[in-house]
Amino acid sequence: MSQIKREPVKFAYWVPNVSGGLVISNIEQRTSWDIDYNRKLAQIAEANGFDYALSQIRFTAGYGADNQHESVSFSHALLAATTKLKVIAALLPGPWNPALAAKQIATINHLTNGRVAVNIVSGWFRGEFAAIGEHWLDHDERYRRSEEFIRALRGIWTEDSFTFKGDFYRFNEYSMKPKPIDPLPEIFQGGSSRAARDMAARVSDWYFTNGNTPAEIRKQVDDIRAKAVANGHSVKIGVNAFAIARDTEAEARTVLDEIIAKANPEAVQGFADQVKNAGKASPEGEGNWAKSSFEDLVQYNDGFRSNLIGTPEQIAERVIDLKNAGADLILLGFLHFQEEVEFFGKHVIPLVRKLEEAETVTAVAAE
Ligand SMILES: Cc1cc2nc3c(=O)[nH]c(=O)nc-3n(C[C@H](O)[C@H](O)[C@H](O)COP(=O)(O)O)c2cc1C
């Protein structure tokens, strides 16, 4: 019973702070990466039931994402334009060190009444590291560094005279002031390799994974939660999905077909070559993009696999399936962000809430 009486599933959207939208396709996208578009989008999202926005960090990219605004500063601008929305800023250990990150995020936490969160990304894009002169670490070493980064962030935010002797970072009786106000910024991370899961089970508040079927999500959730319990830790799960909600399923499928038919093959192939440095490069050969097909890669976090494509009723039911597989949050990408975030908030989220309510009532009646 405890499973179906869980908190309402949370919704987040990807901030389009990089050009080209969330699909590597020449299909028309009424989405812009500029700040005016994004401020309005954030306001639409918070007025329509979205809890979080996730911004992306890229220093350079092919696959149509040629222009990118920096994640932390962009997130702050969105927080300044909203009142309830939580915005997750991405930090890449390497270019960022934890001393700067802890200070920067603590200040934004004060300026925004505690609404900033962070997503610690571990790096998969070797070409980007080479371009900015960052040393490239092997797959699992990247996660060892990320874990130290997270431990250092949390230590700086919560302790005085913080001392830490790691292989990547060192702190000596450091007392950062002011500390963040409550709630402490939540720490998200992405990835699905063994190293990513193990890090989540030790230190992260939230684990973000690429799109997948409920059965595959369930396997990851069971694996992570079992390890987290053994570590005395608890972690929540966010699942990526690309949503296409239309009046009929046929209309939604036609949009998906058009996205794939108009995919840019060179850009998708370039992306496919680079993501071999993620899951496939892990010792076990598993992880993000290790099994992605060409069609999957057109949405660059396997978002079609979650199958939130159809009518609002179908999508709401599939959100519940993902929730029952262990998802606490659904992270959403769209083709035309402003219109579709509003449509999703008005037509899908209320149906999800009704289904959640019905499940709770059934559960209580069964007790
Ligand atoms: C939801 C989500 C968001 C991510 N955001 C970024 C990002 O903004 N920038 C980035 O370089 N990597 C990003 N990543 C990549 C991860 O941090 C990680 O490097 C990648 O998923 C490798 O996965 P693996 O552990 O399975 O090899 C993201 C991953 C996920 C699942």
Look at residue 286 in the predicted model and tell me its pLDDT: 85
Question: Could you tell me the pTM of the whole model?
Answer: 0.96
Q: In sequence order, what DSSP letters do the residues of 186-229 get, joined into one string?
A: PEEEE--SHHHHHHHHHT-SEEEE----HHHHHHHHHHHHHHHH
Ligand 1, atom 30: nearest CA belongs to which residue?
Answer: 190
Statement: residue 1 has pLDDT above 60: no
Q: What is the pLDDT of residues 78-107, one digit of tens each?
A: 999 999 999 999 999 999 999 999 999 999
Ligand 1, atom 8: nearest CA belongs to which residue?
Answer: 56
Place of tokens 């060892």: 144
Q: Provide the pLDDT confidence category of residue 2 given band limits of 50, 70 and 90.
A: very low
Tell me how far the alpha carbon of residue 22 lies from the centroid of ligand 1, in angstroms: 14
Residue 212: closest CA among 296, 284, 268: 296
Q: What is the mean pLDDT of the chain?
A: 95
Residue 51: closest CA among 329, 334, 353: 329
Ligand 1, atom 12: nearest CA belongs to which residue?
Answer: 121
Tell me how far the alpha carbon of residue 6 lies from the centroid of ligand 1, in angstroms: 27
Q: Provide the pLDDT confidence category of residue 5 given band limits of 50, 70 and 90.
A: low
Q: Does residue 301 have its Cβ closer than 6 Å to ligand 1?
A: yes
Cα separation values, 75 from 10, 38, 42, 289, Å: 19, 10, 10, 27
Q: What is the pLDDT of residues 200-224, one digit of tens each?
A: 999 999 999 999 999 999 999 999 9
Candidates 15, 141, 288, 291: which one to mutate for ligand 1, based on the most atoms within 8 Å of Cβ?
Answer: 288
* Region of poorest pLDDT, from 77-86, 286-295, 319-328: 286-295
Tell me how far the alpha carbon of residue 362 lies from the centroid of ligand 1, in angstroms: 38
Top-confidence residue, 313 or 364: 313
Q: Hey, what domains does the chain have and what are their CATH numbers?
A: 2-365 (3.20.20.30)
Q: Does residue 239 have its Cβ closer than 6 Å to ligand 1?
A: no
The residue type at 227: K
Look at residue 169 in the predicted model and tell me its pLDDT: 98
